[in-house]
A = this chain, B = another copy of it.
């Protein structure tokens, strides 16, 4: 922790800050500058300790040095984690392709699309059973019926399943049906849900919040890990910015930045970042170029009739096109993609 004092801080103010550091059991180190004093603090336990110091008179700013996450940090775990979901591996240097409909609308629709994506090389199936919708009047998902349909689709195609959990009370139920649980963007800091999902013990796909920083994203992973789930895959799906030419701004810069400080894998969701079909493939290839460990893509064979996010769904023919180009790109990067 580093404390920057005001240039006009008085001697008694400086003395009081150092006393407070000692009271807290830490050690103070003077770093005199040209116009102001900085005080290095060692011996503190976590970034929270700053709150006991930053309101003191004469203090301009407190800068934490130690990162607030431990389990998610590369400091303690220098090698990349490889997360297994059945036989699928995230973080081994290759690119995992997850595909399927935004929402499970019916048994027919889901089985049909599942087979289409499996044939075209997807390694996992996605499909929403519980949909967190901005409007209370929108389609909210088929619930447990959808989970049964997804399980049947897995049986038919062999693809492991990922689906979103929105309610702490259904986390265990969902865990009985699927292979990987998803925490959605709007719930990234729903800590009650993180704790319950962490306790299920299955791998988790954690979507970054719409305005979550890198540290906040890793702190949410830390919640899952501290409650029993060490198999966490992060997903970047676009963030909120001032722009409106895409549904969200795909922040590819988080991929190398996260890999620098954490051992966890990170994938991207080009469907939710683009929001419109014409830009899904460019977003997907950008993610691969930036070093993503996987993609999760909406596919629908009748997107005009989809109950959720039809405009961003790729029809199977475009999904084939994406797989074809992505294979070449991955190959150029020394990686592979898909089955």
Contacts and interface: CB of A to CB of B under 8 A. Distances in A.
Contact of A167 (B136, B192, B273, B327): B192
Contacts of A20: 304
8 contacts: A7-B76, A38-B65, A136-B191, A136-B222, A167-B192, A255-B282, A256-B279, A257-B279
Interface stretch (A82-90, A105-113, A306-314): A306-314
Given A66-B34, A283-B290, A329-B332, A190 B191 contact: no
Contact of A137 (B46, B51, B168): B46
A66 B287 CA distance: 33
A253 B250 contact: yes
A245 B35 contact: no
Contacts of A189: 132, 134, 186-187
B287 A51 contact: no
A282 B304 CA distance: 35
Contact of A249 (B34, B52, B133, B253): B253
Contacts of A304: 20, 52, 55-56
A55 B252 contact: no
A176 interface: no
Interface stretch (A116-124, A142-150, A151-159, A207-215): A207-215
A245 B213 contact: yes
A65 B33 contact: yes
Contact of A333 (B73, B283, B285, B313): B285
Contacts of A76: 7, 35
Given A136-B227, A285-B333, 7 more contacts: A2-B63, A38-B65, A55-B313, A136-B226, A211-B211, A252-B286, A256-B274
A55 B132 contact: no
Given A55-B303, A253-B243, A329-B329, A32 B42 contact: yes
Q: Looking at chain A, what size class is its interface with the partner chain?
A: 35 or more
A178 interface: no
A97 to B, nearest CB: 15
Contact of A282 (B256, B274, B327): B256
Contacts of A306: 51
A25 interface: no
Contacts of A227: 136
Contact of A242 (B68, B138, B211, B287): B211
Contacts of A55: 276-277, 303-304, 310-313
Nearest to A291: B282
Nearest to A5: B65
Nearest to A274: B253
Interface in A244-278: 244-246, 249-258, 260, 273-274, 276-278
A10 interface: no
B256 A249 contact: no
A107 to B, nearest CB: 22
A304 B306 CA distance: 45
A288 interface: yes
A317 interface: no
A282 B290 contact: yes
Nearest to A327: B332
